[in-house]
Amino acid sequence: MKYVYYPGCSAESTARDHHMSILEVARALDIDVEELKGWTCCGSTPAHHTDKLLSLSLPAANLLKAQESGLNMVVSCAACFNRMKVANHEIRTNPDVKKQIANTLGKEYGGDVEIRHFIEILLEDIGIQRLKDAFTHSINDLKVVSYYGCLLVRPHEITKFDDPENPTSMDRLVEAMGGEALDWPHKVECCGGGFALSRPDIVIELSDSILGMAEAAGAQCIAVACPMCQVNLDLRQKDINRKKNRNYNLPIVYITQLLGLCLGISQKRLGMKKCIVSPMPVIEMLSKAV
């Protein structure tokens, strides 16, 4: 199994821990990932707010590079995953758009690259049993709510990730690690996404409702797979407590950080210290698997 890996801009800033933990988990499981050389930004929300062709050409430039490498693509960030999938879908289904993009790039991209999220690789290529065999540690009934957010699951016709209303991919991983995957109603609610800087007021409202529901479900932590969700729930938690008069103290960890811990990888290599809300309650539950 060899993939070309698209880390996305957040891997170099707010989500360095996500990036680190993915590379560590991939290495531990012999998943061969090679960073896409010279990759460029997918354009994210600002691009599709501004111009449709721009928003499709930016991901397409990377897909073209991937195609030249002859490998399929694995993406870590849910937002990049979504934009790559949307561009691929448009190119595959709309010949006019395909032509326009080719004209913009100066080279035709045929839509041949398959795009997958790292979680899909874990579940489909590796599988639960092999994961279980590889785990050296257990999270011992740690109560986890899995939060999928918007961009992995919607629109389902395009992302084709799990179930759009009740995804269970991360829940299955949590169970495999010995944790208790709690059922809860806010798996695919929106956290405010790209409004982190421009409309923190909206982020505070939406993320408050997610944290509140996680707490009501009895969660000891929230597992995420999207850098934007992580930042909104973690970095804004203090503001939410202040503005909404709450007392949340919920660690927001990447599912790959949890997996890394269970694979016996050191906290440092997984960037655990980068979490703003201390992940100690999670780490304390960890013990050698029997």
- CB-based contacts of 94: which residues, under 8 Å, 6+ apart? none
What is the per-residue burial (b if ≥16 Cβ within 10 Å, else e) of 70-102? Answer: ebbbbbbbbbbbbbbbbbbbbbeeeeebbebbb
Q: Which of 202, 213, 283, 289 binds other proteins (CB under 8 A)?
A: 202
3-state class (DSSP) for residue 276:
coil
Residues 108-167 that bind other proteins (CB under 8 A): 150, 153-156, 164
Residue 44 binds to other proteins (criterion: CB under 8 A): yes
Give all strands of the β-sheet with 252-254 in edge-to-edge order: 180-181, 143-146, 221-224, 252-254
Which one of 23, 25, 33, 58 is in contact with other proteins (CB under 8 A)?
58
Q: Does 5 bind other proteins (CB under 8 A)?
A: no
In whole angstroms, give the CA distance from residue 124 to residue 230: 24
* By the rule CB under 8 A, 183 interacts with other proteins: no
CB of 171 to other proteins, least distance (A): 20
Q: Does 213 bind other proteins (CB under 8 A)?
A: no
For other proteins, which is the closer residue by CB, 48 or 132?
48
57 belongs to the binding site for other proteins (CB under 8 A):
yes
The least distance separating other proteins from the CB of residue 122, rounded to whole angstroms, comes to: 24
Q: How far apart are alpha carbons 99 and 79 in whole angstroms?
A: 25
Interface residues with other proteins (CB under 8 A) are: 9, 12-14, 16, 37-41, 43-54, 57-58, 61, 64-65, 103-106, 150, 153-156, 164, 188-190, 192-195, 197-200, 202, 205-206, 235, 273-274, 276
